[in-house]
Structure 1
Amino acid sequence: MRTLSSKWNTFSPDYCPHSPRAGHHHETSALLLEKEYAFEMACSNIRYGEGVTCEVGKDFKNLHSKNICVMTDKRLIDTLGVHMALQSLEDEKLNYKMFTDIKVEPSDESFKKAIDFAKEGNFDAFLAIGGGSAMDTCKAANLYSSNPSADFLDYVNAPIGKGLPIMHTVKPLIAIPTTAGTGSETTGTAIFGFDKLQAKTGISNRSLRPLLGLIDPLNMKTLPERVAAWSGLDVLCHALESYTALPYNERTPRPASPELRPAYQGSNPISDIWTEACLKICNNYLVRAVFNAEDMEARSSMLLASSYAGIGFGNSGVHLCHGMSYPIAGLVKDYQAEDYPTDNPIIPHGLSVSITAPAVFKFTASACPERHLKSAALLGVDILGKQKADAGLILSDRLCTILHDLNVPNGLKALGYTEDDIPSLVKGTLPQHRVTKLSPVMQSNEELAESLTEIFRASMTIY
């Protein structure tokens, strides 16, 4: 092996500035208490354009796939996107089987049904068509069918699951989004409701991300108004939370090895580029896209914004809005969202995320007022002469205007909650370490519980 005599011998770990042996003798356990010093950028390949759905058959043929698992929501079977995708597979004479028992806002039980289907099918590739529910379900099916001996909780985020690193190879997965919302076509995250806890959690690892996302504006034409609203607000919160998350070099613990570095790493210079661009698009097109299905400029732009946000938050992470949304959705009483299935009460993800946003960003502004002011500016606010001390109120007011314009219900009370429910909502949020620990306001568990209580209380009504 080549060696260098200089003290700058980069081939020797003894001279790595972050090694336990670099001029000092920290034990590995001490190293893990130190702050992070690096971030890693990873996302799926994406292809954008009207009609790219029709190319998916050729993509699988080029991958030499022989047996494809297609996962989609049964309510989408008659849509243009599913028809184009299946026709493309048939044109290339590819074998496939369909799983359509996708639950909107998936649960651990609905994930397990999809996993069982994938294990029985012995598939060599996966295709997800739909919103975040279909894509996340397909990611989980791919993950566990690729390692059939794994226990379900092995890869679920700690402390709810074991949070084990994914060391095996998953099969190729191509994702075709039919909503402008989750950005799941670009991320290594799969979210589900854990019935036992009545709260959401997830699996987060770079290995889960699709090989390719096909971003086709034609699939936006049939998106119902309320689905466009809630998914669009998810895009907005992804970008805001990513941009204001704890900086990557303030995060602890530092991983002992690169493969242990989490997908959600904290705000960083590359994610910032994507989230800033996303916020500009949301300011220009979100409301237009919701209320005019024929406005293809707006709907196409929001589809791109969804992927922009996915690339951003998929590497930086989200924080309190998402952490608090999980028990809001999981503890739903009898709220029934328009344009969604009526078999069970449901608070759609984007609604559960955005309902606390005005109060959340009023709270977090003190930690990074410049970023909160910049966010307000990207959302169309004139911040010339505005004071840092007012950053939270300025951004909160702008968010309230957006929520009002999109006919968002007036706070948690409108979703069926009362102040008596706050302790349960706080309890459901506290285990969400994957996201709550990315809040820019660093607090102990006891301090966080007090802050969450106040944020939930402030979110009972928002107008």
Structure 2
Amino acid sequence: MNELGFFKNPTQITYGLGAANQLRNIIDQQGYKNVLIITDSGIVKTGLIDQLTRQFDNINYAIFDGTKPNPTVENCEAALELLTEINAEAVVAMGGGSSIDVAKAVCLLSTNEGSIVGYEGIDTCSNDLLPLIAIPTTAGTASEVTTFTVITDEERQYKFTVGGIRLAPKWALVDPMVTKSLPSHITAATGLDALVHALESYTSKMATPISKALAREAIRKISGNLRQAVYNGDNITARDNMLMGSLLAGLAFNNTRLGNCHALSHPVSAIYGVPHGVANSILIPHVMEFNALAVPELFSDIAEDMGENLAGMTLMERAHAAVNAVKKLSKDINIPSDFSHYNVDESQLDRMAKDALLSGNIAVNPRKTTYDDVINLYKKSIGGVKVGTI
């Protein structure tokens, strides 16, 4: 008998072409008169914010576009100051996971005192948050439906997580059309990040029948469409499948957490500034090789979902075929194979390993993981000659 456990999805999702145009309906239904838009400068340059604000006739709004790729405590404080100036009743986040993460933090701080640093952990705030409407522009983080926000404390060079049911956006407007302007290299990195979400959710110790079904469909959609989305960004079918795959993966890992890959990626991003999606993409083959010995049957499923020819293979051969499939996909879309371009070296290994082991994702990884295991995984991902940061 299947033991379900639990499944949560507190966000109301509107999905489809033109979903972003439903924003004004929500604003009018709720009676909001003052709204803060949180985004980044890259999204502003695409013209997407101009399109969005055409829905804001007779609405007082301000735009915070200072979000960094790895959002910081300072980002949150600056956006909160602007929210306070206009007395915003709701927040609209348009962008990738970084903008939505800042928006979550701002919505928390608007109704709870102190710095976001003080809310690290799960269910650490007492008051309900300001309402958040999330419009993702990447098929990557699925932050539009998750109950977590990840913020970088630059003073400590440390990424920390704030979580809890209150962190989930109240509404998500998930529109494939707004992802068409995404550059190919960001499409690649965020798409691999979404695949990692699905892979780690499917193999998580907390996986349930519902989460597994969502994760497997996400694996099929992402692995079958990411190449097309990268090399033909106007292919709306590929963009649609990628965004749906990202959303399904988010709904899955929101209930299962993730695994070693995400635990190890956060210190690399916090210390060396490696983009989150790139960090996950570099680490995931090594983490998969490590985990395949513990749950080869799950990795066999992944190989099948990624379209590998498994005829005549043993169980372990099928499991390793999943690793090779991910490596091939990464290579095809020009994801770096190691961290050599980011000056990551062995000088920070001890610090990174200790930070990684603080993550709750380690506990749900399918294979028990020690300090030495983390060190070895980092060493495999570092690469050879170090060059200037890109």
After TM superposition, the score normalised by the length of structure 1 is: 0.78
Query: Structure 1 CA distance, aligned partners of 2:34 and 2:315?
Result: 57
Corresponding position of 2:42: 75
C-alpha distance in 1, partners of 2:43/2:30? 26
Query: Higher mean Cα deviation, 216-225 or 117-126?
Result: 117-126
Partner of 1:235: 194
Distance 1:320-1:391 versus aligned 2 partners, 3 A rule: farther
- By how many angstroms is 1:410 displaced? 2.6
Aligned to 2:127: 168
Aligned twin of 1:140: 105
Inter-CA distance 305–43: structure 2 relative to 1 (3 Å threshold): farther
Q: Tell me whether 375-384 or 449-458 shows the greater mean CA deviation.
A: 375-384
Q: Which moved more, 1:434-443 or 1:315-324?
A: 434-443
Q: Output the amino acid matched with 1:321.
A: C
Contact conserved, 2:97 with 2:142, CA < 8 A, in 1? yes
Corresponding letter in the other structure for 2:184: E
Encode CA deviations 1:299-334: one digit per residue, 9 max, x unaligned.
1211111111111111111111111111111221xx
Please tell me whether residue 279 in structure 1 is matched to residue 279 in structure 2: no
1:151 shift after superposition? 4.4
| Conservation of the 8 A alpha-carbon contact between 1:53 and 1:81 | no
8 Å Cα contact 1:198/1:428 also seen in 2: no
Secondary structure of 1:239's partner? helix
Match of 2:16 in 1: 49
Contact 2:288 2:323 in 1 (8 A): yes
1:362-407 Cα shifts (integer Å, max 9, x gaps): 1112222211110111111123443333455322212111111111
2:60 aligned residue (95, 98, 103): 95
Mapped pair 1:220 → 2:176: no
1:437 to 349, 352, 363: 363
Deviations 1:395-432, CA, capped at 9 Å, x for gaps: 22121111111111231224322344432331331222
- 1:457 alignment counterpart: 379
SS in 2 for 1:459: helix
1-structure distance, mates of 2:223, 2:91: 35
Q: Which residue of 2 aligns with 1:303?
A: 243
Distance change >3 Å, CA 406–CA 379, structure 1 → 2: same
The 1:368–1:214 alpha-carbon spacing in structure 2 relative to 1, beyond 3 Å, is: same
Give the CA deviation at 1:121: 3.5
In the TM superposition, residue 164 of structure 1 has moved relative to its aligned partner by 4.4
Match of 2:387 in 1: none
CA spacing shift, 1:164–1:216, aligned 2, 3 Å: closer
Q: How does 1:343-422 map to 2 (within 5 A)?
A: 346-422=273-349
Check whether the contact 1:279–1:379 (CA below 8 A) recurs between aligned residues.
Answer: yes
In the alignment, is the contact (CA less than 8 A) between 2:148 and 2:168 conserved in 1?
Answer: yes
Q: Which residue identity is paired with 2:365?
A: S
Structure 1 residues 384 and 166, CA, compared in 2 at 3 Å: closer, same or farther?
Answer: farther
Q: Deviations over 1:425-456 (max 9, x none)?
A: 31331222x2111111134xxxx111111111
RMSD: 2.0
Give the whole-Å Cα distance in 2 for the aligned partners of 1:366 and 1:83.
51
Residue 112 of structure 1, CA deviation: 2.2
For residue 104 of structure 2, what is the amino acid of its counterpart? K
Residue aligning to 2:138? 179
Structure-1 separation of matches of 2:172 and 2:48: 14
Q: Secondary structure at the match of 2:321?
A: helix
CA 1:101 to 1:420, structure 2 compared with 1: closer, same or farther past 3 Å?
closer
> C-alpha deviations, 1:135-172, integer Å up to 9, x for none?
1101100011112x244333212xxxxx4433322122
Partner SS state of residue 96, structure 1: strand
Alpha-carbon offset, residue 80 of structure 1: 4.1
* CA distance, structure 1, for counterparts of residue 105 and residue 34 of structure 2: 18
Residues 373, 394 of structure 1: 8 Å contact kept: yes
TM-score, L = length of structure 2: 0.92
Identify the match of residue 288 of structure 1 among 211, 228, 231.
228
Q: Which amino acid aligns with 1:409?
A: P
1:363–1:392 Cα contact (<8 Å) kept: no
Aligned residues of 2:298 and 2:319 also touching (Cα < 8 A)? no
Distance across 1 between alignment mates of 2:186 and 2:333: 11
SS at match of 1:272: helix
- Unaligned regions of 5+ residues in structure 2, if any? 385-390
Post-superposition offset of 1:43: 4.0
Comparing both structures, which one devotes a greater share of its residues to helix?
Answer: 2
Counterparts of 1:406 and 1:126, CA distance in 2 = 34
Q: 1:423 to 1:165 in 2, by over 3 A?
A: closer
Are 2:28 and 1:61 aligned?
Answer: yes
| Offset of residue 212 of structure 1 | 1.2
- How much does 1:356 deviate? 1.0
Provide the C-alpha distance between the structure 2 equivalents of 1:268 and 1:167, rounded to a whole number of angstroms.
29
In the alignment, the residues of structure 1 paired with residue 373 and residue 172 of structure 2 have an alpha-carbon distance, to the nearest angstrom, of 38
Q: Radius of gyration: which is bigger?
A: 1
Q: CA deviation at 1:61?
A: 0.7
* Identical positions, percent: 29
Q: Residue 64 of structure 1: CA displacement?
A: 1.5
1:355 match: secondary structure: helix
**Quick one: distance in 1 between partners of 2:358 and 2:85?**
33
